[in-house]
Amino acid sequence: MLDAVRLLSAGYCTHMEAMSRIGAPWRSCRFPSGFALLHHRRHGPILFDTGYTRYFADETRHFPNRLYAFATPLHLQDSETAAEQLARAGIAARDVRHVIVSHFHADHIAGLKDFPRAAILCSLAAWQSVARLRGFAAVRRAFLPGLMPADTETRLRFVDECSTAALPRAMAPFDKGWDVFGDESVLAVELPGHASGQIGVVVSSGASEPVFLIADAAWSHAAVRDCSPPPRVTTAFLGDTATYRNTLRKLHDLHRCNPALRIVPSHETPP
Ligand SMILES: [Zn+2]
C-alpha cells in the first residue's frame, strides 16, 4: 500500500526538441531528469529511477563517455540530487531499500550509488541488454557502467519474476503488470522500444487515482496525446523504431479512452 507518490526531478539536460518529437521545433529544450518517490506503508521510501547526480559528470569527463555529455549537456546543482532532496524531506539514503530502474540509460541510474542498501529492481531484458557493455559500445547505448554500484549483481531483482496481476479495465490496452510488492501498489508494465526491456509502473496511493509513470516511452504528454514519436533517427539509434511506435500507439489509445489518467513521462516537468 502506498501512502504517497511524489513526482520529482534531479537536474536536466538540453537537446534539440525536434529530435524528441516529429513536428517539434528546432530549438534547444530542457529535459528534466524525472524520478518518483513512493512511500510504501511496509517497505518505506521507494524510488522509481534516480535522475542525475555528479557521478554523471565524473563518468563523462573523458572520451568516449564524453560524447554522451556532449549530446545531452548536464545542468545540475548538488542540492538537486535525489539523495539531497530526500534528505531535506527527512529520508536517509540508507532507508531506501528499493530503487526501481525503468531502463539503464545513465540519466535514470546516475544516483544508484547514493542508495547503497537498496535492491535494484528492473526487467531481466533491460539488465541483460547492458550488463556486458563497456567503452564505446556502452556509451553508444547511453549506458555508463561506472554508474553501477560495485555490488550490483547481488542487489539485482528482476520484476519479471514477480507474479502478474490484471490491470484495471481503464488501463486498456495494457492488461497486466508484474506485482512488484505483492500488494498491487506498484505494477510494472512492459514499455519496450525506447530501450530493451524498459518498464513503466502503475502506482496507486490511497484513495487517489492511479498514476502511470512511463519513463521514456514518450518524452512529453503532447507526444502521447498526438501519437507523435521522435524521428526515426532517434528511436533507431537508441532502440527499435517499430517497437517504440507500437508502445506509443498503445499509450495514445490509453489516453484517448481514459483522458483523466495521469500519464507521466520522465523528461517533462509534471503540471
Ligand atoms: Zn532513456
User: Given this model, what pLDDT does residue 62 score?
Assistant: 92
pLDDT at 70: 81
Using alpha carbons, list the distances in angstroms from residue 223 to 18, 32, 183, 228, 247.
12, 16, 32, 5, 12
Supply the pLDDT for residue 271.
58
Q: What is the DSSP string of 178-236?
A: EETTSSSSEEEEE--SSSTT-EEEEE-BTTSPPEEEEETS-SSHHHHHHT-PPPHHHHH
Q: What is the pLDDT of residue 18?
A: 84
Is the pLDDT confidence value at 217 over 70? yes
pLDDT tens for 230-269 read: 999 889 888 899 999 999 999 999 999 999 999 999 999 7
DSSP 163: P
- Phi and psi angles of residue 83, each rounded to the nearest 5 degrees, phi first: -60, -40
CA-to-CA distance for 177 and 202, rounded, in angstroms? 8
Are the C-beta atoms of residues 83 and 93 closer than 8 Å to each other? yes
Ligand 1 centre from 129 Cα, in Å? 13
Where are any strands of DSSP class E within the chain?
2-16, 28-40, 44-48, 74-75, 98-100, 119-122, 156-158, 164-166, 176-179, 186-190, 199-203, 211-215, 262-265
Query: What is the distance in A from the centroid of ligand 1 to the CA of 207?
Result: 31
83: cell is 539523495
Instruction: Give, as residue ranges, everything with CB less than 5 Å from ion ligand 1.
Output: 105, 216
What's the gap in Å between 167 CA and the centre of ligand 1?
25
Looking from the CA of 44 toward its CB, the CA atoms found within 13 Å total 14
Mean pLDDT of the chain: 94
Asked if pLDDT for residue 191 goes beyond 70, the answer is: yes
Task: State in Å: Cα 83 to ligand 1 middle.
Answer: 21
137-182 per-position pLDDT tens digit: 999 999 999 999 999 999 999 999 999 999 999 999 999 999 999 9
Is the pLDDT score of 208 beyond 80?
no
Residue recorded with cell 505494477 = 187
- Provide, for the chain, the percentages of residues in helix, strand and coil under a 3-state DSSP scheme, each rounded to the nearest 5: 35, 25, 40
Q: Is the peptide bond before 230 cis (omega within 30 degrees of 0)?
A: no
pTM of the predicted model as reported, rounded to 2 decimal places:
0.95
Ligand 1 centroid to Cα of residue 29, in Å, is 16
**Does 91 or 205 have the greater pLDDT score?**
91
d(CA 225, CA 142): 27
Sign of CA dihedral 57, 36, 195, 241: negative
